[in-house]
């Protein structure tokens, strides 16, 4: 997969009306009525427009807001931020660096032990790639983020062996 993540006319034309409203018109989807707010599967969240890797499930947490929330992006260069003064308040908007897709906002009320940030994202701006599909979809370089999960997916149960007797157990019978 190319690491040249950008917006193309074809990619924008493939968006659903909701995805287009969110990513291209700076919209917001309803809380608790979106695809990923309660997703607990291990994997990578990528920009719906360009495929750029943005967030990892290892940094996702339940913020209680009804939107998928993350403590940080997978790479600081994956997102850009700007001041948003819509809705009569000052917020920090988050956009994908490659395609300039509107993703959501970042707030300073996240878990303190993880840096204090809450990247509150719109599911409509994201596509989820499960860990099992990372290699097939060209995101194998991110597999290390999920090392314990990958180990669980690839480990097989060890073959059972017959119990062995120690000399003292055998002699006691």
pLDDT higher than threshold 70 for residue 136: yes
Mean pLDDT over the full length of the chain: 88
Q: Which residue has the higher pLDDT, 14 or 156?
A: 14
CB 139 within 8 A of CB 53: yes
pLDDT higher than threshold 60 for residue 9: yes
Q: What domains can you pick out in the chain, each with its CATH number?
A: 9-143 (2.170.150.20)
Catalytic choice (120, 129, 134, 145): 120
Examine the residue annotation and report whether 123 is marked as an active-site residue of this protein.
Answer: no
- What are residue 89's phi and psi, to 5 degrees? -145, 165
Q: What is the pLDDT of residue 35?
A: 97
Starting at the edge strand that comes first in sequence, how are the strands of the sheet with 60-61 ordered?
60-61, 69-70, 118-121, 102-107, 91-96, 79-84
What number is the average pLDDT over the span 95-121?
A: 97
What number is the average pLDDT over the span 51-79?
A: 97
pLDDT higher than threshold 60 for residue 155: no
Q: Which residue has the higher pLDDT, 24 or 159?
A: 24
What number is the average pLDDT over the span 139-150?
A: 85
Q: What is the pLDDT of residue 95?
A: 98
Confidence band, pLDDT 50/70/90 cuts, at residue 78: very high
pLDDT higher than threshold 60 for residue 90: yes
Rounded to 5, what percent of the chain is helix, strand, coil?
30, 25, 45
What number is the average pLDDT over the span 122-134?
A: 98
Q: What number of CA atoms fall less than 13 Å from residue 3's CA on the CB side? A: 7
Q: What is the pLDDT of residue 89?
A: 77
Confidence band, pLDDT 50/70/90 cuts, at residue 151: low
pLDDT higher than threshold 70 for residue 52: yes
Confidence band, pLDDT 50/70/90 cuts, at residue 1: very low
Confidence band, pLDDT 50/70/90 cuts, at residue 50: very high
């Amino acid at each position: 997969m190319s690491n040249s993540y950008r917006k193309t006319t074809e990619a924008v034309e493939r968006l659903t009306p909701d995805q287009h409203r969110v990513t291209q018109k700076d919209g917001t989807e309803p809380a608790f009525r979106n695809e990923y707010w309660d997703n607990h599967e291990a994997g990578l969240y990528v920009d719906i427009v360009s495929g750029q890797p943005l967030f990892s499930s290892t940094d996702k947490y339940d913020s209680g807001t009804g939107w998928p929330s993350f403590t940080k992006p997978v790479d600081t260069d994956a997102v850009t931020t700007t001041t948003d003064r819509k809705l009569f308040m000052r917020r920090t908007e988050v956009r994908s660096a490659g395609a300039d897709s509107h993703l959501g906002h970042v707030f300073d009320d996240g878990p303190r032990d993880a840096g204090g940030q809450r990247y509150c994202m719109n599911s409509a701006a994201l596509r989820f790639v499960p860990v099992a599909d990372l290699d097939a979809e060209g995101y194998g370089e991110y597999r290390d983020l999920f090392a314990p999960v990958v180990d669980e997916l690839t480990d097989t149960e060890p073959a059972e062996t017959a119990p062995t007797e120690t000399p003292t157990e055998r002699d006691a019978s």
